[in-house]
Amino acid sequence: MNRVFGIDVGGTSIKIGLFEEGGELVATEEVPTGALLTEDDFAKVTGALGRVLEQNGAAPEEVCAIGLDIPGPVDAEGRVGMLPNIQLDDKGLRAAIQDSFGAARLAFVNDANAAALGELWQGAARGVGSAVLVALGTGVGAGVIVDGRVVAGAFGAAGEIGHLTVNRSETRVCGCGRCGCLEQYASATGVVRMYRERCEAAGATPVPLTGPTDTLSVFRAAEHGNEVAADAIFSMADYLGYALAQVSCVIDPEVYLIGGGVGKGFGFFGERLRSAFRHYCLATSAGTRIVQASLGNAAAMYGCAYQALLARS
């Protein structure tokens, strides 16, 4: 039977998913890795893949496709670009995996794109032709799906909607060197910063926060009636709705899927986001659906497997 691996590569660990070709997730395993630069590092990965197969009574020859995601740009040809946030020799890892699984087709995909593909294959975007998965995490990224395929971009920058300019008056500089990016308001960091700033402006004491990305506490405070917290979240939803209205003027997708850590608060801000989008969008696109992504952290793993299957055909 044909098997597929979807491997979500992070900075400190990898999440391995073993799938059947039809999309059923057979087994998962998370393996701490750290840097992936040497033959020893790569052996940790291939060893883990072998163990998962063995535990599930499958042989290496049955693996027809292996997809890996990367927290950085991957262009339309599958070439990996600069990886500022992770220590990874992608060419070395590719060679090591190919050595162990000669029958498998390997594919790399950007992590936000992987999550979008996962939702398309087995999640909230199943059966949809065009969709944008918006990952609201430490940063803001997106996976853009058109005609059932992920759009990588000529320079691997498709879906960089975290860097749409939403406030031309902003003077604070974004990580990208520009000012007024969506990411400055709709990332976990952005929500917490806006909350703290508004507490200070209102002379209110912030609720205890575990760190600069602890949006969960801000959401909880808002749910318990904290107006400053609600205000910060609604600002986030307004900026995001504005940005998605711009995206619709470019590719006009059928549905937006809201995921990532901040996306977990969708129940709280979803309606506000929808009304902001309808306020800012062209009338033609007012019917676009905005829903919560459904596969959570596993989305990327699914999407890696799916991309590898697509690349094979």
Closest approach, Cβ 49 to a second copy, in A, equals 31
Distance CA 123, CA 294 (A): 6
Helix and strand element counts for the chain (H, E) = 10, 10
Q: Which residues contact 167 (CB under 8 A, 6 or more apart)?
A: 179, 180, 184, 185, 239
For residue 201, which phi and psi values (nearest 5 degrees)? -60, -35
Distance CA 234, CA 305 (A): 36
As a dihedral over the C-alpha atoms of residue 154, residue 69, residue 181, residue 236, rounded to 10 degrees, the angle is 140
**Closer to a second copy by Cβ: residue 94 or 149:** 149
Closest approach, Cβ 181 to a second copy, in A, equals 9
Closest approach, Cβ 174 to a second copy, in A, equals 10
**Closer to a second copy by Cβ: residue 111 or 214:** 111
Angle between helices 227-250 and 215-223 (to 10 degrees): 120
Closest approach, Cβ 148 to a second copy, in A, equals 11
Closest approach, Cβ 199 to a second copy, in A, equals 26
Closest approach, Cβ 252 to a second copy, in A, equals 3
**Closer to a second copy by Cβ: residue 33 or 248:** 248
**Closer to a second copy by Cβ: residue 223 or 254:** 254
**Closer to a second copy by Cβ: residue 45 or 276:** 276
Distance CA 99, CA 192 (A): 46
Name which of 52, 241, 252, 28 is nearest 118 in CA terms. Answer: 28
**Closer to a second copy by Cβ: residue 161 or 221:** 161
Please report, as ranges, the residues that interact with a second copy according to CB under 8 A: 73, 76, 81, 129-130, 144, 146-147, 149, 151-161, 163-165, 167-168, 176-178, 242, 245-254, 280, 282-285, 287-288
Distance CA 280, CA 121 (A): 30
